[in-house]
Chain A
Amino acid sequence: MRCIYGLTAVFFLLLVMVGCQTDIAANSVSERLQTGTVGKLFRLTEPVSLDLRHGFSAKNLVSNTLWREIGTIAQGSVLKPVDTVLMVNAGDNYEAYLVVKGNQVVGVYLPVESAFVNATATVNVLLAEVTQ
């Protein structure tokens, strides 16, 4: 009898773990990257704390890192990290690029999934263009 209780508990925990996986397709917006504006290089001059929607998390962006504009999506310009990485965790891990509009971070772009994940609150970002 005790064994059955144990197995039931384990089964329940497994179900909870599976339930905690975030469905990327259901929690992001499909976007095609337009690659017409390639080239500008920026330096992040202050650290940025990214707050993404429930179920998504990303490490804070470190200051003094380089980001290259590689195109645009409907939500803004897409910046690919040059000397750092941006990764979003949503159960599994996803490489991500930064999406900015004006001087605000509006979310992240997942290049493999061609999907945009919005930030729960837009964050001001200080980007200094680097002349090449």
Chain B
Amino acid sequence: MIRSITIAIVSLFLMGLSTGCASGPKFAEVSATFPQLSADQGRVYFYRDGGIGGAAVQPDIKLNGKVVGQSVPGRFFYVDCPAGNYEVSCATEAEHKLSLALAPQETKYVRTYIQMGLFVGQVVPELVDKDKAMRSMNDCSYTSR
């Protein structure tokens, strides 16, 4: 009994370590390589803080119904798109949405986080300001889409 609990704890720890130390370049290393926005475009960054809570729950992130990436702990990516109205959605056992208006040359930051569900964690997208996003994204690894 004690042995299996110990194995479970160690596995959980290793899983957390692997997600917390997600491999790949950090924001500071790659941001200079990101292209300039064209006049009519805006940029949306998506990120999820690292951590072991619900690490295995990694649903698709959709932008206006189209899959643009996945919500993965310790990872970030961005999407350049024409200015306009957008709906971000993430679905596990329940779907959670965020609506946002993107202006030309504007950059927005969307954090996805996990909250408790009935059977499996639910991933919620929320709009955050640049300062808060950068504090987290500096520790995240870049995932190209």
Contact = CB atoms under 8 A, between A and B. Distances in A.
A13 interface: yes
Interface string B112-145: 0000001000001111111100000000000000
Looking at chain B's contact residues, the main secondary structure is: strand
A61 to B, nearest CB: 12
B85 interface: yes
Contacts of A95: 98-101, 127
B94 interface: yes
Contacts of A85: 127-129
Contacts of A111: 85, 101
B97 interface: yes
A112 interface: yes
Please classify how large the interface on chain A is, using the bins under 10, 10 to 19, 20 to 34, 35 or more: 10 to 19
A14 interface: yes
Q: Which of A83, A110, A111 has the largest count of B CB atoms less than 10 A from its CB? A: A111
B99 A112 contact: yes
Contacts, number: 44
Contacts of B87: 112
Given A13-B118, A93-B124, A111-B85, A84 B129 contact: yes
Contacts of B126: 87, 93
Nearest to A114: B85
A113 interface: yes
Interface in A79-132: 81, 83-85, 87, 92-95, 110-113
A113 B129 contact: no
A85 B107 CA distance: 12
Contacts of A113: 99
Contacts of A17: 94
Nearest to A92: B97
A108 to B, nearest CB: 13
Given A95-B99, A95-B100, A112-B99, A14 B129 contact: no
B66 interface: no
Contact of A112 (B85, B118, B128): B85
12 contacts: A14-B118, A85-B128, A85-B129, A87-B126, A87-B127, A92-B96, A93-B99, A94-B98, A94-B99, A95-B98, A112-B86, A112-B101
